[in-house]
Amino acid sequence: MKPTPRTLSVPILFFIAIVIAALAISAQVPPPAGQTPPPQGAPQGPRPEPVKPPPVAPVPPQPAAPASGPKTAAEASDYAATSTYAEVMAFVQDLQKLSPFVRLETLAVSAEGRAVPLLVVGRPVPRDPLALRYDKRIVVYVQANIHAGEVEGKESALMLARDIVLDPKTPYLDRIVLLVAPVFNADGNDKMDPRNRMGQVGPEKGSGLRHNGQNLDLNRDAMKLESPELAGLVKNVLGRWDPLLLVDCHTTDGSFHQEPVTYSWPLCPNGDPAVLKYARDKMLPAVDATLEKKYGTLALPYGDPMDFRDMSKGWQTFGHQPRYMTNYVGLRGRLSVLIENYNYADFRTRVAGNYHMLQALLDYCWANSAELQKLVADADARAVQAGLAPAETDTFGLDVEVKPLPGQISVQGYEMEAPPAAEGAPQGPFPRMRPTDRKKTYTMPYYADFVAKRSVRLPFAYLIPLAGTEVADKLRQHGIAVERLTEPVTLEAEAFRLKEIKGAERLYQGHRTNTVKGEAAVEKREFPRGTWLVRMAQPLGRLAAYLLEPESDDGLLVWNYFDRDIVAQWGRGAQTYPVYKLFVPQNLASEGIE
């Protein structure tokens, strides 16, 4: 019988099903022990030779590991590898067996189920933060590996914690309780591949991925707190331990210079100005001097050339928005330092540079602990006092722009040149520049002073007459005190009428971020029982304002938390942003929300 098309298709389909099943089974076979499969779509094969940049300024090595202490993967491999998550945990456990001065807590549980470790180092270790109420020690928090391809902070933080607890001569622990999160992005860490961060010089065996298990950049999540890592950080570190200094360890991505370490301070202009100026004008210049004189390591305020073809135009830092972790901490009235180690220095040099920068920061905190305590306590007091009776001079800055700081900055760089274009290739308007081996010091303005072009008044309180709890829950997740009206009240408050709302064309961090235009108008209206109430007389009042102001460039409206309430569903009339500003202090019947 001549087979029909239908009868022919049966064996073909059966064969295809067998092939698909075999592929599915092979895809589920776990890798050999100790290995982590590369991320899907990652390029395979040996790591290509990176472009060899000019040499970086030398960095003295950190102290040798104590004979009795554990070694990091970097030390054990002669800096060919960085630590896996399992190796970090084994290091911590081995250190605990040698010293009573280390306790392990869980900062968060990652999207893929890994417990993000938090080391609490003290002599003695406080049983909990309340035990520090009558203790003169300050709390310093060091965080590494938020971008898991930027790995030297992980190694150096582990080394420094080990060296501090095993060396009885180290002075820090009589005045400092040190918190260390060495592998903050635990999920990204173990997706190691030599081709991740292609321009980075080492480690030879590769490093992890920038994003976490949710495909989020954790250093853009500080305002929306959508990752378990950032939610855990705010709850279990910033809220629970309240460190007066956060240090966030990274690796640079672009510019060429001789300094192996760069750094920055909290940049957001809506934070407490005294905290920002103290970090920028007093603390970090002193730390920079210590780093060079005591530890033989050159450093430079973080930035990139505004024009690689004309370096004299200026050196510019990153953005001011509090989505960035160090800016967020500044907005909370605490000190923060961003460490960005030089991408083109070899791995050993980057680890040593980060180690020495941490030493210099701890030196400063140890020597100035009482002054730092007073600085942040005064910032809290100012925030509360301003919220009790806000004056017209208490404002929130909008339309922020960057200007140069007074004076100029010197960058020890190289003469730059444009490589010859390939024959027949069109010349673009911006030729790619590369460094030569001829050293050159550039003196130029440093664009790192963020100022508002306009401002609006801060209120006594914000009123949010929404039935849902999503916004209130998000505010409380940040640690902001939220109340609820227990009876209706008629008040004169400022409303914001929307004239235009635009969502971004491209997705960013899983959102189409909003920008709005509108105008404020005072109106008298009744606020029903159950209206959410956020008073500004609290230490996190400035953070509350950044989250709730309608024209904030990084608030909850930007991140789509009010989309259902501000987008017209059934009519064409102007929408009113459902957050009202109460300027005149009022006695209101309300209850706190736990």
Q: DSSP string of 315-359?
A: EE-----TTSHHHHHHHTT-EEEEEEE-TTS-HHHHHHHHHHHHH
Range 585-594 average pLDDT: 95
- The whole-number pLDDT of residue 50 equals 52
**Dmax of the chain from CA atoms?**
97
pLDDT score of 39 more than 80: no
Distance between CA atoms of 544 and 461, rounded to whole angstroms? Answer: 10
Distance between CA atoms of 286 and 281, rounded to whole angstroms? Answer: 9
Dihedral angle of Cα 172, 155, 74, 54, to the nearest 10 degrees = -100
Q: Which residue has the tokens 């007073």?
A: 374
- The whole-number pLDDT of residue 233 equals 98
pLDDT score of 284 more than 60: yes
264's tokens: 């920055």
- The whole-number pLDDT of residue 572 equals 65
- The whole-number pLDDT of residue 31 equals 36
Q: What are the C-alpha distances in Å from 538 to residues 463, 481, 535? A: 15, 8, 7
Q: What is the CA radius of gyration of the chain?
A: 27
Phi, psi of 16, rounded to the nearest 5 degrees: -65, -40
**How far is Cα of residue 593 from the mean position of the Cα atoms in its chain?**
28
Q: Which long-range contacts (CB under 8 A, 24 or more apart) does 87-92 make?
A: 88/117, 88/154, 88/158, 88/182, 88/183, 89/117, 91/158, 91/162, 92/117, 92/119, 92/158, 92/182
- Provide the residue ranges of all domains of the chain, joining segments of one domain with +: 73-388, 459-592
Distance between CA atoms of 254 and 307, rounded to whole angstroms? Answer: 12
pLDDT score of 3 more than 50: no
Range 529-546 average pLDDT: 98
Phi, psi of 64, rounded to the nearest 5 degrees: -65, 150
**How far is Cα of residue 413 from the mean position of the Cα atoms in its chain?**
27
- The whole-number pLDDT of residue 410 equals 97
Q: In sequence order, what are the beta bridge partners of 545?
A: none
pLDDT score of 43 more than 60: no
Over the chain, what is the mean pLDDT? 90
Range 165-189 average pLDDT: 95
For residue 232, how many C-alpha atoms fall within 13 Å in the half-sphere facing its CB?
Answer: 20
pLDDT score of 23 more than 80: no
The SS3 assignment for 278 reads helix
Distance between CA atoms of 334 and 578, rounded to whole angstroms? Answer: 30
Per this entry, what is the length of the chain? 594
- The two beta strands, 315-316 and 245-251, are unpaired
Q: What are the C-alpha distances in Å from 86 to residues 92, 93, 102, 145? A: 10, 11, 18, 15
Q: Which residue has the tokens 């929130």?
A: 396
Q: What is the pLDDT of residues 334-349, one digit of tens each?
A: 999 999 999 999 999 9
Range 118-126 average pLDDT: 97
pLDDT score of 314 more than 50: yes
pLDDT score of 391 more than 80: yes
CB atoms within 10 A of CB 423: 5
The SS3 assignment for 80 reads coil
DSSP output for 95-128: HHHH-TTEEEEEEEE-TTSPEEEEEEE-SSPPSS
- The whole-number pLDDT of residue 32 equals 33
pLDDT score of 14 more than 50: no
Range 258-268 average pLDDT: 98
Per the CB < 8 A criterion, the answer to whether 482 and 476 are in contact is yes
Q: What is the pLDDT of residues 73-113, one digit of tens each?
A: 999 999 999 999 999 999 999 999 999 999 999 999 999 99
Q: What's this model's pTM, rounded to 2 decimal places?
A: 0.91
Phi, psi of 442, rounded to the nearest 5 degrees: -105, 130
% of residues, the chain, pLDDT over 70: 88
- The whole-number pLDDT of residue 42 equals 46
CB atoms within 10 A of CB 320: 25
Q: In sequence order, what are the beta bridge partners of 305?
A: 315
276's tokens: 């920002």
pLDDT bracket for residue 429 (50, 70, 90): low
For residue 363, how many C-alpha atoms fall within 13 Å in the half-sphere facing its CB?
Answer: 16
Query: Which CATH number is 73-388's, of 3.40.630.30, 3.40.630.10, 3.60.21.10, 3.30.160.250?
Result: 3.40.630.10
SS3 content of the chain, % helix, strand, coil (to 5): 30, 25, 45
